[in-house]
Amino acid sequence: MTHFDTSGLQPAQDRLTEQGIDVVRLGYADLIGVDRGRDVLVNRFSRTVGSGVAFCRSVFGTTPRGGVVDFEGGLSAGLPDVQAFPDLDTLLPVPWEPGVAHCIADVFNPDGTPSQESPRYVLRQICEQFTELGLTPVVGPELEFYVLEESKESPSGWKRYGEGTGNVYTSGLKGDPENVLLDALRQLGNYGIDVISANHEFSSGQFEINLWHSEALDAADRAHRFKDAIKELARRRGQLATFMPKPFNDEGGSGYHLHFSIADADGTPLFHDPSDPHGLSPLARHAIGGILAHAPAIAALSNPTINSYKRFGPDTLAPWLIDWGLDNRSAMVRIPPERGSGTRLELRLGDASANSYLAVASMLAAALLGIRNKIEPPEPLVGYGYDDTKSEKLPQSLSEALDALEQDKELADLLGEPLVNAFLAYKRDEVERFRTWITDWEFHEYTYHI
């Protein structure tokens, strides 16, 4: 068995009871970032979770349509168990579910070893390699999403909430006629995940909520919870919140931007250098260089769906090329204008469908390789960044990105072979299922004239 410290369980159970909480929702992220969990009664919490809560290992590889994708140790091994243990530091009351608290779990194999398919474990391992260098990665997530409401007229059964053009960065009822965003911001503000601001985005029914920066694992935990919370809050209103990258042909996609910097062991920021022409330290430049060098592989984890690559392209404000720029939103890596302690990079590559742990882990792994190998970035982009004669294109399909991940042995080694192999198997199954599926586009394009 794992050496899980059970000494804190009974005190945690007693505190929960004092707070009027009778259920703990114990959850962890699967490969695509879905929160898989069980509800545990608090009056039996210490006893129930002390030796781990069993889950089928193949839950990591369960598809949105309910299929089970095989990976080593999964379906072909007879669907064995893993055990989930609560990280008690993550216990938080859920404001909109009276009597319920959520707790993030760490997942272990029955022999006590960590589950290496666990996205949280993978990120933790990357963070520990920074710690060995006396460094602390700091991340601030920004996520966009759409809110939809039911519609009998729409072929999909859903339409965009609050339809109206030109509402980017508007507040109030103009772009949010039922105060959906305002109510969500207030609920999330009471959840302890450190959301800081919210705004209407470019497209109808599209919103963005920003989270404060913190150490990378904590930031990914908060982002993971945020996505699940947004969807739950929408369901309570009879709506659907979606982090699908590009749900509509006539509107833009939803991004997942990561603000990233590094501090030393004492918390001193390390990305600023006033003597550099751009105000960037060698550490910052090398982190940028590593992210650019490994961008095609990062794309597989930051843009992990078939739909992701319909968000890319010229004039989309989504990246298309592997480049970086100074306060340039058309670049894949943007350096915001703040310097001093605010010096950071913004990786704009990811889309909203990304698993928070894997998006952060792949960025950190690439940055770490850049730091170790002292990779210098090219000159920064000047102007509008969609000229493919200046920089290489990002992968243009999920298949291309998966091939890039498989071929990037340095990055794959840092992320771990079990995770990478499981992810490749899962996503190649998705590619194959899509390849053989007849789409509405094909039907409308061909049936009448052919």
CB 107 within 8 A of CB 55: yes
Q: At what angle do helices 417-435 and 398-407 cross, to 10 degrees?
A: 160
- CA angle at 122 for the pair 12 and 196, rounded to the nearest 5°: 65
SS3 of residue 329 by DSSP: coil
In the predicted model, is pLDDT for residue 115 greater than 80?
yes
Q: Which two tokens stand for residue 444?
A: 């409308």
Quote the CA–CA distance of 100 and 90 in Å, as a whole number.
14
Which of 205, 197, 211 lies closest to 168, judged by CA? 205
The closest alpha carbon to 204, from 254, 157, 154, 155, belongs to 254
The mean pLDDT value for 105-121 works out to 95
**In the predicted model, is pLDDT for residue 226 greater than 60?**
yes
The mean of the pLDDT values for the chain is: 95
Assign 119 to helix, strand or coil: helix
Q: Which residues pair with 198 in a beta bridge?
A: 209
At 2 the pLDDT is 61
pLDDT tens across 277-318, in order?
Answer: 999 999 999 999 999 999 999 999 999 999 999 998 887 888
Reduce the DSSP state of residue 385 to 3 states and report it. coil
pLDDT digits (tens, 9 = 90+) for 165-184: 899 999 899 999 999 999 99
pTM of the entire predicted model: 0.96
Residues pairing with 335 in the sheet: 326
User: Is the predicted pLDDT of residue 74 greater than 80, yes or no?
Assistant: no
Of the chain, the percentage scoring pLDDT greater than 90 comes to: 88
Cα separation, 295 vs 178, whole angstroms: 40
Residue 182's CB is within 10 A of a number of other CB atoms, namely: 14
Distance CA 70, CA 80 (A): 12
- pLDDT category at 4 given cuts 50, 70, 90 is confident
Among 272, 302, 321, 280, residue whose Cα is nearest residue 365: 302
